[in-house]
Each structure stands twice: as structure tokens, then as C-alpha cells.
């Protein structure tokens, strides 16, 4: 340790430092044993804790071990707006990304009753957040990450959709539209779509006394449905086409199917979700935190590239309970920038165990990413993680107590909990549960690079060889040549320069192939799945425009795309000598 910064000689030192720190949540007599088990969990990159855990656990720095947070609702007045900005700055300074729903801010052009000023709208305030993020991030080498969401019926939704069409606009934000089921029905039926805002917040209008049309909506920051004034109407399909055209040209905005997210929320009885962490895999309530880790599936493939290649499910089942305990302990080991964040994290004890290296594991098993066999294996892995995770969480509840927000009867009526095996549901009813949510699939980009550059998350391999831009501590970027782990292993085993038989890149797959893989694992994921649909730059808009519709019909909770264009660059590029195809801006 030097000035609070870990000086690890090698990765073994990192694993030991982290294992000791996380075992610190156990009783003094149990710490050595759990430290040894946590060390074994991480050894050989079998389990990849979130980057904040690896960087901060066991140091003397006052940092959070949670990668990201969703912040509180932004009250539509100047003082609370800047109080929310301060909360975001403190959170980002401690190492956490932030997500915000800006739907509570009045639309541009609205008269403020108190001052007589004209409201500038949500997008203008997002620019202030973006500048803050750039300033905070200029002090270190961690790239700032923020998510902005806006309801599909907010009067400023068109400005939000086009917000990132300007060069260098809102570069620290990912943007996603909150899509409701009602809007999707209006798109399907080609109906007019009302843009609305809570009537109580709009105040008097120039034509006060005239009949004003109102509808009732559940609005962020309000309890239940509230009267909302219809500000304008436009064809639902026109608005949908604006989303798709902007996504095609600029890779923004993504979509979050917010009604489905709330229906599927295990804690739907006590919280409303309106935003996610910056990469979209964890929808969270106000001040909720991401506490994530990923199993490296390549570490569970035996006899790779042979006729005897197999996936070691017994080994995975053995390690899942240890990973649950590890992440549960993180909540005691972590600092939280705000008291509300600590309170929320410990009331629900959300964790998110997922996977990474899926594509490389399939390549090592000789299975094509877009095959039924590949999707079935991915689903089986996530089902194993989920079911063994819940069983472990029940045992933890018996040992350490259930999470505070548990109301067993209401919790057991959640759709996702209803899909669990009967024995798990019975055990929850009898003994409770330690963690409200247990699974999420993160992009895992940086930690996958650390693990010898396995394919990240559930994404297909990007390329056999490519270039990656990394941010240095000085704030500059450096380009590094990278080789895919499965391709490197294939050369090491076979000695041949040709690619493995099952190797396929993201750009070689259809958009539906990407969606089908995400749909295969989603039923086994409590939170959500971070997945970017990479499409080749030559893809016609006609072939692209139904991607989000396919995602909705496939049961996804959200979706993002990335198409190489002159407007948007990525952090991954094809090797020199080939066309440079940016991968994804959401990592």
C-alpha cells in the first residue's frame, strides 16, 4: 500500500487483498476460512468481481465498492436540482457511475410560476450533469458513466431522442427512452400519441379557463396515477421512427421497456423503477446500488477444442454459494457516498451474479453462438446460477437474517419468483431470503480484459485480433493490440494460424441472433441483461428499423444497438489493415 493505493506485485496479491477485505464481514474466527474460499473463488479468474471491488477492497481509500447507482428523483425546482447534482458529484468522486430519470423536470417553454422564467427543459439540465462528470473524471483515469432516461410521453421526448446527434454532445451519458406498453400498442395500431406532464406542475397557462385535456399517468416522483395535461399529440409511429433513425445514425437512444421492468421486479410491492445503472443491466429504485460479479465461463470448459469438450456444471454449482456470500459481504465492506445509498443497499441487499466469456466458452466447446445449442447452454448456465444462488441466499437468511424489505407473501407473488422451483419458494416462505435480487448480466468489459481478454458478458467475440483504446491516468488514451482468448488458446493447442471452427464475430451475426441470445437468458435474470446489438456499417435502415420491435416482442427488458458510422466511435476497433468497426460505447 502506498498513499492508500494498492501496490500489488501480481494478480495473486490482488486476489489475496480482496479476499481478506471481503472476509472481514465475517466473525473473527471464521475470517481465515472464508478468505481462503474467496481467494479460491477468484483464483484463475473463475469469478470476476466488479471493477470497483477489485480496485478498492482492502485499501485505505474512502471509495465505494459498488460500480453504479441510480440516484433520487429530481424535484422540479432550482435548489433541489442542484442538490441532486451535488449528490451525483459526490457519488462519482467516490468511483460510482450514476443513473437519473429526468422525466420529473418540466418541458422546455413552461412558465415557472414563482419567478416568471421559462423552463429550459430536461436536456438543458443534462448538459450541466455532463459538464460535472467531465470535471470529476479529469482528476483520474476512470471514465465517467451516467445514464439518462426520459419517458416516451414526456413533452421533450423528441429533443431527448436527438440530443446526441450533435457532435460531442452529452458524451458522458448513455440515453434510453422509457417505453411503456401503452406506447407500443399505439405504435402497433398507428394511433396518435399524447405527450403529457403532471398538470399540478405546469401551473397556469396563457389561455387559462379554456378546456384542457388531461389523462391519468403514473409519473416518477408521484404516488399512483396523477392528472397529466396533454401538451401535444403526434403519430406514435412517427415518434417510434425518430427513435429508430437516431439509434441507426448515432447509437442512441437505447430503450427500456419500463412496464415489463416493473412487472418483473421482485420488490414491485414497495418500489417503482424509472432508471437503470449506466449500462442498463440493473434497474434500481432511488439510491439503489449495483453490487456485481461475473463467472468466467471459459474457466469451466474441460478438454477444450476436443470431442470430449464439456461444461463443468458441478464445479459451477459448488462456487455459486461462495459468490453469493462474497457479494453479500461487499455491502458491509463498502463505503457509500450518501447515507441514503447505504440504507437502500442494506434494506434490499441486492446482488447481481452473471456471466462473462460466453462466446469464448462456446468456441472452446465447438458450439456456434447463433445455434439452439448455444442458446440452450447459456440458458442452462444462468438457470444454474439463479437457482443455486437463491438456495444459498435462503441459507444465508437462516444464518444472518433476511433482507429488511421482505414481505414473504407479496414477494412470493412476483412473476420471477413464481418461476423458481417449488422447493426454493417453499424455503423462502419458511426461512426468508438474504438478498432481494441475485442475478444480472453486466458488460464486464474491463474485468474480462483483465482475465486474459475473454469475450465480455454475453456478447459474441468482437474479432480474433483488434485494437482497444484505454484511458491513462493522465487522461490520454493509448491503443493496445488485443487477441481474443479463445483464438489465443486455439493457437496454443493446435499450433495452426486458422481460426477455431466455431469462431464467429459480432458483425457476422444478424440482429435477431443477438436478440435471441439475450432472450434465452432473460427469464433466469432478476435484474436485466446488458447487451449491445452490433450491426455492420453497411446495414440498410430498412433492415435495421425493426430491431427494437423484435426486442420487445422477444420479452427483453431493454436493448441498445451499435452501428459503425461517421457519427460515433467505439473503444474497440478491427485490426489495422481491415475496416475499422467500432464495437460499443456502453461498456
Q: What is the pLDDT of residues 274-286, one digit of tens each?
A: 999 999 999 999 9
Enumerate residues 6+ apart whose C-beta is below 8 A from 188.
none
379-399 burial string, b = 16+ CB within 10 Å, else e?
Answer: bebbbbbbbbbbbbbbbbbee
For residue 483, the SS3 value is strand
Model pLDDT, residue 473: 67
Q: Are residues 425 and 482 in the same domain?
A: no
CA 480 to the chain's CA centroid: 26
Is residue 131 scored above 80 in pLDDT? yes
| Active-site annotation holder among 26, 87, 281, 587 | 281
Q: Are residues 130 and 255 in the same domain?
A: yes
**Does residue 174 carry a catalytic annotation?**
no
Residue 40 falls within a domain, yes or no? yes
A 10 A CB-CB count for 295 gives 26
208 — pLDDT class (breaks 50, 70, 90): very low
Q: Are residues 473 and 520 in the same domain?
A: yes
- Mean pLDDT (whole number) for 184-195: 98
* Whether 173 contacts 134, CB under 8 Å: no
Model pLDDT, residue 381: 98
256 — pLDDT class (breaks 50, 70, 90): very high
CA 115 vs CA 107, 112, 120, 568: distances in Å: 16, 6, 13, 40
583 — pLDDT class (breaks 50, 70, 90): very low
Q: Are residues 374 and 515 in the same domain?
A: no
Phi first, then psi: give them for residue 418, nearest 5 degrees. -65, -20
- Mean pLDDT (whole number) for 88-100: 93
- Mean pLDDT (whole number) for 133-156: 83
Domain count, the chain: 3
Range of the domain at 552: 445-573
For residue 377, the SS3 value is helix
Average pLDDT, the chain: 91
- Mean pLDDT (whole number) for 166-179: 93
Q: Are residues 35 and 101 in the same domain?
A: no
Whole-angstrom Cα distance, residue 185 to residue 191? Answer: 8
491 — pLDDT class (breaks 50, 70, 90): confident
- Mean pLDDT (whole number) for 80-108: 95
Model pLDDT, residue 585: 46
> What are the DSSP E strand ranges found in 181-253?
192-198, 214-218, 225-235
CA 388 to the chain's CA centroid: 22
Whole-angstrom Cα distance, residue 384 to residue 424? Answer: 13
Q: Are residues 245 and 99 in the same domain?
A: yes
Model pLDDT, residue 245: 97
What does pTM read for this prediction?
0.94
564-573 burial string, b = 16+ CB within 10 Å, else e?
Answer: beeebebbbb
* Whether 310 contacts 303, CB under 8 Å: yes
Model pLDDT, residue 112: 72
Strand partners for 284: 275
- What is the torsion angle, in degrees rounded to the nearest 10, for the CA atoms of residue 239, residue 240, residue 241 and residue 247? 110
Burial class (CB in 10 A: 0-12, 13-18, 19+), 111: middle
Is residue 321 scored above 70 in pLDDT? yes
* Whether 201 contacts 76, CB under 8 Å: yes
Is residue 495 scored above 90 in pLDDT? no
Residue 556 falls within a domain, yes or no? yes
Enumerate residues 6+ apart whose C-beta is below 8 A from 200.
226, 227
Q: Are residues 124 and 29 in the same domain?
A: no
Is residue 174 scored above 70 in pLDDT? yes
Strand partners for 233: 194
CA 56 vs CA 62, 349, 437: distances in Å: 8, 20, 23
Q: Are residues 250 and 293 in the same domain?
A: no
* Whether 177 contacts 243, CB under 8 Å: yes
Tell the residue number behind the cell numbers 447481481, with chain if given: 352
Cell of 134: 467531465
- Mean pLDDT (whole number) for 140-151: 81
Q: Are residues 40 and 73 in the same domain?
A: no
pLDDT tens for each residue of 469-479: 776 666 677 88
Residue 452 falls within a domain, yes or no? yes
Which tops the pLDDT comparison, 193 or 166? 193
With a pLDDT cut of 90, the percent of the chain lying above it is 80
Residue 2 falls within a domain, yes or no? no
Model pLDDT, residue 579: 38
Model pLDDT, residue 136: 86
142 — pLDDT class (breaks 50, 70, 90): low
Enumerate residues 6+ apart whose C-beta is below 8 A from 359.
369, 455, 458, 459, 460, 461, 486
Whole-angstrom Cα distance, residue 334 to residue 58? Answer: 10
pLDDT tens for each residue of 369-427: 999 999 999 999 999 999 999 999 999 999 999 999 999 999 999 999 999 999 999 99
Residue 533 falls within a domain, yes or no? yes
Enumerate residues 6+ apart whose C-beta is below 8 A from 354.
281, 292, 293, 294, 295, 382, 385, 439, 440, 441, 442, 444, 457, 525
* Whether 144 contacts 134, CB under 8 Å: yes
Nearest CA to 76 out of 121, 41, 43 is that of 121
Given the DSSP bridges, would you call strands 572-573 and 214-218 parallel, antiparallel or unpaired? unpaired
**Does residue 271 carry a catalytic annotation?**
no
Please, where are the H alpha helices in 370-523? 372-400, 408-412, 415-418, 422-431, 445-450, 485-494, 511-521
Which of 250-259, 419-428, 465-474 is predicted least confidently?
465-474
Cell of 438: 441475485
Which tops the pLDDT comparison, 395 or 221? 395
Model pLDDT, residue 1: 54
pLDDT tens for each residue of 333-379: 999 999 999 999 999 999 999 999 999 999 999 999 999 999 999 99
Model pLDDT, residue 221: 83
**Does residue 279 carry a catalytic annotation?**
yes
- Secondary structure, 3-state, 144-185: CCEEEEEECCCCCHHHHHCHHHCCCCCCCEEEEEEECHHHHH
Please, where are the H alpha helices in 225-312? 236-250, 258-263
Residue 114 falls within a domain, yes or no? no
Residue 220 falls within a domain, yes or no? no
Given the DSSP bridges, would you call strands 97-101 and 146-151 parallel, antiparallel or unpaired? parallel
Strand partners for 479: 469
Is residue 581 scored above 50 in pLDDT? no
| Active-site annotation holder among 174, 277, 291, 573 | 277
Measure the CA angle with vertex 538, ends 536 and 542; round to 5°. Answer: 100
Residue 218 falls within a domain, yes or no? no
| Active-site annotation holder among 133, 279, 290, 487 | 279
Tell the residue number behind the cell numbers 457532435, with chain if given: 167
Given the DSSP bridges, would you call strands 254-257 and 558-563 parallel, antiparallel or unpaired? antiparallel
* Whether 186 contacts 193, CB under 8 Å: yes
444 — pLDDT class (breaks 50, 70, 90): very high
Q: Are residues 308 and 392 in the same domain?
A: yes
Q: Are residues 389 and 358 in the same domain?
A: yes
Domain boundary among 380, 398, 431: 431
Q: Are residues 80 and 124 in the same domain?
A: yes
Amino acid at each position: 500500500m502506498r498513499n492508500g493505493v494498492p501496490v500489488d506485485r501480481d494478480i495473486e496479491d490482488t486476489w489475496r487483498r480482496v479476499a481478506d477485505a471481503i472476509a472481514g464481514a465475517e466473525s473473527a474466527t471464521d475470517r481465515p476460512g472464508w478468505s481462503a474460499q474467496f481467494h479460491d473463488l477468484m483464483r484463475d479468474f473463475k469469478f470476476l468481481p466488479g471493477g470497483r471491488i477489485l480496485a478498492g477492497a482492502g485499501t485505505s481509500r474512502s471509495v465505494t465498492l459498488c460500480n453504479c447507482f441510480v440516484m433520487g428523483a429530481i424535484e422540479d425546482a432550482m435548489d433541489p436540482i442542484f442538490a441532486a447534482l451535488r449528490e451525483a458529484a459526490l457519488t462519482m468522486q467516490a468511483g460510482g457511475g450514476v443513473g437519473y430519470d429526468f422525466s420529473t423536470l418540466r418541458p422546455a417553454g413552461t412558465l415557472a410560476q414563482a419567478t416568471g422564467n421559462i423552463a429550459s427543459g430536461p436536456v438543458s439540465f443534462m448538459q450541466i450533469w455532463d459538464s460535472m462528470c467531465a470535471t470529476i473524471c479529469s482528476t483520474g483515469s476512470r471514465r465517467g458513466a451516467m445514464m439518462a432516461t426520459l419517458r416516451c410521453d414526456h413533452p421533450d421526448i423528441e429533443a431527448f431522442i436527438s440530443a446526441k446527434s450533435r457532435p460531442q454532445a452529452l458524451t458522458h451519458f448513455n440515453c434510453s427512452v422509457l417505453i411503456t406498453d401503452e406506447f407500443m400498442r399505439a405504435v402497433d395500431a398507428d394511433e396518435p400519441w399524447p405527450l403529457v406532464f403532471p398538470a399540478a406542475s405546469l401551473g397556469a397557462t396563457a389561455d387559462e379557463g379554456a378546456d384542457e385535456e388531461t389523462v391519468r399517468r403514473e409519473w416518477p416522483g408521484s404516488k399512483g396515477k396523477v392528472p397529466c395535461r396533454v401538451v401535444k399529440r403526434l403519430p406514435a409511429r412517427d415518434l417510434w421512427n425518430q427513435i429508430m433513425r437516431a439509434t441507426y445514425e448515432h447509437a442512441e437512444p437505447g430503450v427500456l421497456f419500463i412496464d415489463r421492468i416493473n412487472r418483473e421486479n421482485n420488490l414491485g410491492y414497495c418500489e417503482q423503477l424509472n432508471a437503470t445503472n449506466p449500462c442498463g443491466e440493473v434497474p434500481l429504485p432511488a439510491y439503489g446500488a449495483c453490487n456485481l460479479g461475473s463467472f468466467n465461463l471459459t474457466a469451466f470448459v474441460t478438454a477444450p477444442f476436443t470431442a470430449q469438450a464439456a461444461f463443468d456444471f458441478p464445479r459451477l454449482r459448488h462456487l455459486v454459494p461462495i459468490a453469493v456470500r462474497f457479494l453479500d459481504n461487499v455491502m458491509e465492506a463498502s463505503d457509500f457516498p450518501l447515507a441514503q445509498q447505504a440504507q437502500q443497499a442494506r434494506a434490499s441487499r441486492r446482488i447481481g451474479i452473471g456471466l462473462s466469456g460466453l462466446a469464448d466458452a462456446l468456441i472452446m466447446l465447438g458450439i456456434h453462438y447463433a445455434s439452439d445449442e448455444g442458446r440452450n447452454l447459456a440458458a442452462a448456465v444462468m438457470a444454474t446460477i439463479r437457482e443455486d444462488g437463491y438456495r444459498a441466499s435462503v441459507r444465508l437468511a437462516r444464518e444472518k437474517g433476511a433482507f429488511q424489505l421482505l414481505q414473504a407473501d407479496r414477494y412470493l407473488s412476483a412473476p420471477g419468483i413464481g418461476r423458481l422451483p417449488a422447493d426454493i419458494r417453499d424455503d423462502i416462505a419458511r426461512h426468508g431470503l438474504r438478498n432481494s435480487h441475485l442475478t444480472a448480466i453486466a458488460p464486464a468489459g474491463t474485468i474480462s480484459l483483465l482475465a486474459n481478454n475473454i469475450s465480455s458478458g454475453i456478447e459474441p467475440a468482437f474479432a480474433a485480433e483488434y485494437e482497444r483504446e484505454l484511458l491513462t491516468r493522465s487522461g490520454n488514451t493509448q491503443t493496445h493490440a488485443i487477441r481474443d482468448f479463445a483464438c489465443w488458446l486455439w493457437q496454443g493447442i493446435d499450433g495452426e494460424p486458422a481460426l477455431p471452427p466455431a469462431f464467429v464475430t459480432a458483425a457476422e451475426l444478424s440482429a435477431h441472433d443477438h436478440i435471441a441470445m439475450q432472450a434465452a437468458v432473460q427469464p433466469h435474470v432478476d435484474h436485466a441483461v446488458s447487451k449491445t446489438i452490433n450491426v455492420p456499417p453497411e446495414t440498410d435502415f430498412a433492415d435495421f428499423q425493426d430491431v427494437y420491435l423484435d426486442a420487445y416482442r422477444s420479452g427483453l427488458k431493454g436493448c441498445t444497438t451499435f452501428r459503425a458510422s461517421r457519427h460515433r466511435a467505439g473503444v474497440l476497433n478491427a485490426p489495422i489493415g481491415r475496416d475499422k468497426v467500432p464495437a460499443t460505447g456502453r461498456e
